[in-house]
Amino acid sequence: MITLFSLFLLVLLVITAVAVVQTRNLFAAVMLLSIFSLLLAANFLLLDAADVALTEAAIGAGISTVLFLGALSLTGEREAPRKGPRLLYLVAVIAATAVVIYATFDKPAFGDPQAPVQTHVAPWYLEKTPEYIDIPNVVTAILGAYRGYDTLGEVFVVFTAGIGVLFLLASGPGSGSKRRGSRLTEVGQVTGLRHYLVPRVVGRLLVPFIILFGLYVQFHGEYGPGGGFQAGAFVAAGIVLYSLLEGEKKALDIIPRKVLMGMVCGGALLYSAVGVLGMLMGGNFLDYSVLLDNPVAAQQVGIILIELGVGLTVTGVLLSIYHAFAARGRA
């Protein structure tokens, strides 16, 4: 039954993907991409990967759609006519597809207990996590502690991406480009949804709950699905909603750009600092067990701290990018 439902979702995924490629209206493409992410999240959930599903739903279907719309408000919603040798593209795509499909023949069958992924380190993680870290969500233990380097790398990828987008888009007050925004922005900047009573009232009601849920996901990540990446997306989404309802300026009054930059850098620094602190106290880089006398409690403290760092950076980067788009659209 699950397999059938999974197949159904995968077929829908393919249909959505084809529709994304086919449509010339970029606005529709963004919406279809959001649906694509939501279907993918449902599929992940069917495979019992709740953490990944939450990330895909929050970041793929949620906040990245908002950022795409922000980008569209700068570029317009029509795709430029395609040029070039279409036959060549077709051949390249078919060749690449054939290679990928050929590669899948080597993959172990779905759910095969003898597959390398089931026999390599996974049993060790599942067996030893209660002893070493003692938190129920093994995914958080792997991300935060066992594979701490990888997660640190991810945080710096997010950090670098944020800095890059800000370099491309940032415009000082008054020095913005003369580029004409699309109709969407013009409506947005005149009204900022201010004249719509219903979205404003309901949105105001929802913003605190969205941010509260983000904090829950942040600090409950050791017990259930969640963690810094998802929480950052939720909190950022709450503040973006507030900014859409009340105007960008009010949102910037609450969290000014300087604070945002502090969050972007501070989160990454906090993560690294926890690692360096471990070194100073006689352990390896990102070895949390030396932070306190009790190694298990120290691991938990370390994970909470680095998750906080991840959450700060992700929130800061997403909000900075949103504000950069909004400022550029207004200029």
Q: Interface with another protein by CB under 8 A: which residues?
A: 183, 187, 191, 193, 196, 198-199, 202-203, 205-206
Cβ at position 209, least distance to another protein in Å: 8
Judged by CB, which is closer to another protein: 128, or 200?
200
Q: What is the DSSP letter of 256?
A: -
Minimum CB distance to another protein smaller for 25 or for 294: 25
Give the residue among 258, 233, 249, 263 at the shortest CA–CA distance from 327. 249
CB atoms near residue 178 (< 10 Å)? 5
**DSSP state letter for 79:** P
Question: Would you say how long the chain is, in residues?
Answer: 331
| Nearest residue (CB) to another protein, 96 versus 201 | 201
> Which residue's CB is nearer to another protein, number 148 or number 203?
203
Nearest to 317 by CA among 171, 161, 189, 192: 161
Neighbours of 242 (CB within 10 A): 22
Nearer to another protein, 176 or 199 (CB): 199
CB 159, CB 313: distance < 8 Å: yes
Least separation in angstroms between CB 199 and another protein: 5
Our measurement of the distance from residue 13's CA atom to the centroid of its chain's CA atoms, rounded to an integer in Å, reads 20
Q: Supply the minimum distance, in Å, between the C-beta of residue 202 and another protein.
A: 4
Q: How far is the CB of 248 from another protein (least distance, A)?
A: 18
Q: Is 117 exposed, middle or buried (0-12, 13-18, 19+ CB in 10 A)?
A: exposed
- For residue 264, the minimal CB distance to another protein (Å) is 30
